[in-house]
């Protein structure tokens, strides 16, 4: 490449990555897979490594440049970050509207904006001369912590904008519910404590010392305030203008002039709560124009022009019938409260995790207690409080047993850990837990293999270790009570199908401590198959895995321990003999720039004769584009069996042609002209 070509390629890659960040984070319509994204990113990194002069401050690589710090520095806010007055009642809301009217000149007819109150971590963001220059946590409202390097890693926040004046923004850093679930799955695997909700995850992540870790947390920014008065006339226009600059906001804003309209908008936001990916705990009502906001000013604590209307968190009261102890895949003993069933936010709750011994002690929950239950982050029911005045006579504090409730072996609390673990590595609960984990969607994805069935398979001695799954026969399954031929065939078929998963999925499924989904994939790029894994020498693992991105000493140590255990090696050898997993392969070769499908885009859906990945590759090799959703501009929807109705509706809406697999084949083989 000539220097000119190099510069052009650099600019092109950077622009593509920025566009994909926008599609993924702002529009929730990614058009490429994570692997493809990583490939573009790596090409950019390589190019910059070879020609550092190409690096620009807003290059996507510059999001994660900074090295870990030892502490966060204090930084003053541009103006104090006050908090908001809040209410739970319509009456107080009406009083607020009246107060506002009284505080404005005679005859004013203030317009109010109503928007979600995001439940994350608040932050101040500074753009100067079109560049993002600083991010400061709320702190005590006057001085916060400088977390600029961490904020730079948040991929929905542009590092440069086409606006040169000063711009000081207030925003919430949030995490989507699905990203919390995925991260907690990874952490459970690594034996790390889980995040109780998205807010803790957002604020904890912002204050991490190593920006590279922050980058993995899938944080998002949503702006809710602009300080500069010369940016726009009022709050609503400011947020609209931010979106034009591609600065993310929450995107939900209504206007109202009286208490009925305002209340109506609040109710609409509450109704929408369950459908949104981010958490909100209320609505914020603001006087819309800056002029009126400035006239109203603020008290020592709150602005006079805004109020938060908080939604009541759904909390239900019920009795604790018992406290049972579950033993997980890693041997950890978890106390779980069995509750008298109670309705909560649309579902019946009959169990709540108590996490660990410390949590039980903190709450002092006892059998027989009346407790308040909430759904943390709308997902896991949590015990929030105990009504001590309702405690029955003669209860006793609950203590976790020091022996495993499943196998009776001693249970211990290792130094420095909060968890108590069963010491027997062959504890049936561990074996069953690891089989369940192996079959999970993100690992080997074996349908129809639930916890109950696994328990029966193990107790009948049909399965003693994971590889035994692959030698199960129809006769074996029919031995299980209530298993009929149809159900059994489905199970066998799912197990069979899992043989063709790529090696990275097998690696995840092994449940090796610290080797989660992301790391397994990195590892599989270097160690592509069972053969190659078995060929590694545990003693020289560090040097063999040197340079695999993201792999640190903890992971190497954990893998070495795993490989040093003859039982694990034997399992791997059995997987090999049983042809479980295929060597890892990078998905999709570089996109073709010519071919019969050039200029056409495809969304593939439903059950097809081959894997979706395979079909995607074929489309791209023939010059076509792959869309993961049907959207404006998608030429074809390739529909297999059991197509979801929503895909067909969007196809109709966007004028996308619906075709079957055979028709796709014809298009690829060029027997007919493709549609325009």
Q: How far is the CB of 123 from ligand IVH (least distance, A)?
A: 8
- Residue sitting closest to ligand IVH (CB): 122
Q: How far is the CB of 197 from ligand IVH (least distance, A)?
A: 15
Active-site entry in 49, 117, 521, 600: 117
Nearer to ligand IVH by Cβ, of 122 and 198: the residue is 122
User: Do 371 and 389 meet the contact criterion of CB atoms below 8 Å apart?
Assistant: no
Tokens of 226: 């602009």
Q: List Cα–Cα distances, 133 to 137, 166, 228, 286, in angstroms.
A: 14, 11, 16, 28
Q: Which residues bind ligand IVH (CB under 6 A)?
A: 82-84, 115, 117-118, 122, 172, 224-225, 284, 303, 306, 308
| Residue 211 backbone phi and psi in degrees, to 5 | -60, -25
- Name residues whose C-beta falls within 8 Å of residue 251's C-beta, 6 or more positions apart in sequence: 222, 243
Q: How far is the CB of 171 from ligand IVH (least distance, A)?
A: 8
- Name residues whose C-beta falls within 8 Å of residue 188's C-beta, 6 or more positions apart in sequence: 194
- Whose CA is closest to 77, among 131, 17, 146, 180? 146
- Whose CA is closest to 326, among 415, 425, 428? 428
Q: List Cα–Cα distances, 524 to 186, 282, 582, 612, in angstroms.
A: 17, 44, 11, 21
Q: How far is the CB of 267 from ligand IVH (least distance, A)?
A: 17
Q: How far is the CB of 562 from ligand IVH (least distance, A)?
A: 44
Return the percent helix, strand and coil in the chain, to nearest 5: 40, 20, 40
Q: List Cα–Cα distances, 350 to 2, 156, 213, 611, in angstroms.
A: 67, 39, 36, 39
Question: Which residue has 């493709």 as its token pair?
Answer: 674
Nearer to ligand IVH by Cβ, of 47 and 222: the residue is 222
117 counts as catalytic: yes
Q: How far is the CB of 286 from ligand IVH (least distance, A)?
A: 7
Tokens of 312: 């009541």
Nearer to ligand IVH by Cβ, of 78 and 321: the residue is 78
User: Do 329 and 350 meet the contact criterion of CB atoms below 8 Å apart?
Assistant: no
Tokens of 493: 């078929």
Q: How far apart are CA 600 and CA 596, in angstroms?
A: 9
Nearer to ligand IVH by Cβ, of 150 and 293: the residue is 293
Q: How far is the CB of 119 from ligand IVH (least distance, A)?
A: 7
Q: How far apart are CA 29 and CA 13, in angstroms?
A: 19
Q: How far is CA 443 from the centre of its chain?
A: 17
Nearer to ligand IVH by Cβ, of 264 and 665: the residue is 264
- Name residues whose C-beta falls within 8 Å of residue 402's C-beta, 6 or more positions apart in sequence: 410, 411, 412, 420
Q: How far is the CB of 167 from ligand IVH (least distance, A)?
A: 17
Catalytic positions, please?
A: 117
């Amino acid at each position: 490449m000539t220097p000119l070509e190099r510069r052009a390629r650099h600019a092109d890659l950077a622009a593509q990555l920025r566009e994909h960040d926008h599609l993924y984070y702002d529009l929730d319509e990614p058009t490429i897979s994570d692997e493809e994204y990583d490939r573009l990113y790596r090409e950019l990194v390589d190019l910059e490594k070879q020609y550092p002069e190409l690096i620009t401050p807003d290059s996507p690589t510059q999001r994660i440049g900074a090295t870990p710090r030892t502490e966060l520095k204090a930084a003053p806010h541009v103006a104090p970050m006050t908090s908001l007055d809040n209410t739970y009642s319509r009456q107080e809301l009406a009083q607020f509207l009246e107060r506002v009217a009284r505080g404005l000149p005679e005859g004013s007819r203030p317009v109010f904006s109503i928007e979600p109150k995001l439940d994350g971590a608040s932050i101040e963001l500074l753009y100067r001369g079109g560049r993002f220059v600083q991010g400061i946590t709320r702190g005590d409202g006057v001085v916060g912590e400088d977390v600029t390097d961490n904020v730079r890693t948040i991929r929905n926040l542009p590092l440069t904008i086409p606006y040169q004046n000063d711009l000081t923004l207030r925003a919430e850093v949030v995490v989507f519910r699905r990203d919390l679930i995925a991260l907690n799955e990874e952490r459970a695997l690594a034996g790390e404590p889980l995040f109780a909700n998205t807010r803790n995850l957002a604020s904890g992540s912002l204050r991490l010392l190593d920006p590279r870790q922050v980058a993995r947390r899938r944080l998002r920014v949503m702006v809710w305030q602009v300080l500069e008065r010369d940016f726009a006339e009022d709050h609503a226009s400011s947020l609209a203008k931010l979106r034009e600059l591609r600065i993310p906001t929450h995107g939900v804003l209504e206007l109202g002039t009286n208490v009925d309209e305002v209340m109506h908008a609040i109710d609409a936001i509450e109704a929408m709560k369950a459908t949104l990916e981010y958490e909100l705990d209320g609505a914020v009502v603001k006087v819309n124009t800056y002029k009126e906001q400035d006239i109203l000013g603020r008290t020592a604590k709150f602005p006079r022009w805004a109020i938060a209307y908080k939604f009541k968190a759904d909390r239900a009261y019920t009795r604790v019938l018992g406290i049972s102890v579950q033993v997980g895949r890693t041997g950890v003993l978890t106390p779980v409260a069995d509750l008298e069933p109670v309705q909560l936010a649309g579902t019946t709750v009959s169990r709540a995790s108590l996490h660990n011994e410390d949590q039980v002690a903190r709450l002092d929950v006892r059998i027989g207690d009346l407790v308040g239950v909430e759904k943390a982050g709308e997902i896991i029911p949590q015990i929030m409080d105990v009504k001590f005045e309702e405690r029955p006579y003669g209860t006793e504090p609950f203590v976790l047993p020091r022996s495993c409730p499943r196998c009776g072996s001693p249970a211990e609390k290792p130094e420095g850990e909060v968890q108590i673990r069963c010491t027997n590595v062959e504890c049936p609960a561990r074996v069953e837990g690891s089989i369940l984990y192996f079959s999970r969607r993100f690992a080997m994805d074996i349908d129809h293999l639930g916890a109950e069935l696994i328990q029966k398979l193990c107790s009948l001695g049909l399965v003693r270790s994971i590889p035994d799954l692959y030698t199960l026969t129809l006769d074996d399954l029919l031995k299980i009570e209530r298993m009929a031929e149809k159900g059994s065939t489905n199970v066998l078929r799912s197990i069979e199908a899992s043989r063709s998963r790529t090696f990275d999925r097998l690696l995840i499924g092994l449940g090796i401590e610290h080797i989660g989904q992301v790391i397994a994939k990195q590892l599989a790029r270097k160690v592509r198959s069972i053969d190659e894994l078995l060929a590694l020498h545990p003693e020289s693992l560090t040097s063999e895995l040197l340079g695999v991105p993201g792999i640190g000493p903890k992971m190497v140590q954990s893998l070495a321990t795993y490989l040093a255990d003859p039982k694990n090696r034997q399992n791997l050898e059995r997987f090999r003999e049983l042809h479980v997993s295929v060597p890892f392969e990078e998905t999709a070769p570089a996109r073709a720039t010519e071919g019969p499908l050039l200029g056409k885009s495809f969304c593939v859906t439903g059950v097809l004769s081959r894997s979706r990945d395979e079909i995607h590759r074929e489309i791209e090799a023939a010059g076509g584009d792959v869309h993961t959703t049907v959207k404006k501009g998608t030429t074809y929807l390739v529909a297999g069996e059991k197509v979801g109705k929503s895909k067909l509706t969007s196809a109709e809406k966007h004028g996308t042609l619906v075709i079957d697999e055979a028709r796709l084949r014809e298009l690829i083989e060029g027997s007919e002209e493709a549609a325009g």
